[in-house]
Amino acid sequence: MTTAYYTHADCKRHEMGSWHPESPERLQAIEDQLISSRISNLLDHREAQPAQESDLARVHTADAIYRIRENCPSEKSEYSHFPLDADTSLNAYTWRASLRAAGAAIAATDAVIDAEIENAFCAIRPPGHHATPRESMGFCMFNNVAVAAKHALEVRGLGRVAIVDFDVHHGNGTEEAFRDDPRVLMVSFFQHPYYPYTGTEHPARNMVNVPVPAHSYGDTVRALITEKWLPALRQFQPEMIFISAGFDAHREDEMGQLGLVEADYAWITKQIMDIAKQYSQGRIVSCLEGGYNLSALARSVVAHIKVLADLE
């Protein structure tokens, strides 16, 4: 089994202030943990190429693209950041990093469909699942998983894809991008009530949204996945699976109040792998979303990748 690891140095150059939890150090922590776990050299390391604006436009409006491209401050500007909302801002490298992030997801999609690799993990930032077609928000600029899924459907000709989102926050942008699209099934769990306070009121017919109360642990989440996600995925029979891989539901992550640990992320990944082997020719592309405690994030990503790469 070949698992590719996509990233790019530009993804570390986007930053929103030294205080901000969505920091470049997140990617470095993952890379360090891959090395210390002695699995880095067992992965197919690939450098992300930038997405084209036409790729972004399959999901995002022209205004949403323009807002990011034209508002990044120059490297010589007296203002280092341009705010989009209270917790999302642009620096001089955000546009470049955002293109690399979406480009990694697209390249991974092509490589998996072309059977160059079986699956891939994209260590990218900015994250994406809160970015709606019209608006960047919640640390997210463009919706990397949505862009890749649209590429699979509209460029590569797949008929059905599934999106699995296990971030502590609901992927409101992804739901909006694919609302009532019969080609897409999205399954997710998320802490509720919690930012962005969506996913429970009138979910679209192709969404399996599983709200979870604060202070729930892995046994609760595993039972809900077994009851809600897996039957829906089996019935849908996706030709490819995309993962919005957020690790901020970890018990050590103060961004949320759920109690997952590395073994839970490994178990979830194993369930997704089993579905992919049965219906999707094993085709999975996983993209980093949240996860802000650096140690917990790095350990959880390694647990996730070990299952993807059959290195347990």
Q: Which residues are catalytic?
A: 130
Instruction: List CB contacts of 48: < 8 A, sequence separation 6 or more.
Output: 6, 7, 8, 11, 100, 101, 103, 104, 107, 122, 124
Q: How many CB atoms lie within 10 A of CB 271?
A: 17
User: Strand order in 284-288's β-sheet?
Assistant: 44-47, 3-7, 119-122, 284-288, 240-245, 161-165, 184-191, 207-212
How many residues belong to the chain? 312
Query: How far is CA 118 from each of CA 37, 113, 279, 290, rounded to the nearest angstrom?
Result: 21, 8, 14, 24
Q: At what angle do helices 25-36 and 294-308 cross, to 10 degrees?
A: 50
In angstroms, the CA 304 to CA 107 distance is: 20
- Take residue 87 and report the two structure tokens written for it: 């917790």
Largest CA distance in the chain: 55
List of residues 6+ apart from 227 with CB closer than 8 A: none
Q: Where are the extended beta strands (E) located within the chain?
A: 3-7, 44-47, 82-85, 88-90, 119-122, 161-165, 184-191, 207-212, 240-245, 284-288
d(CA 73, CA 82): 7
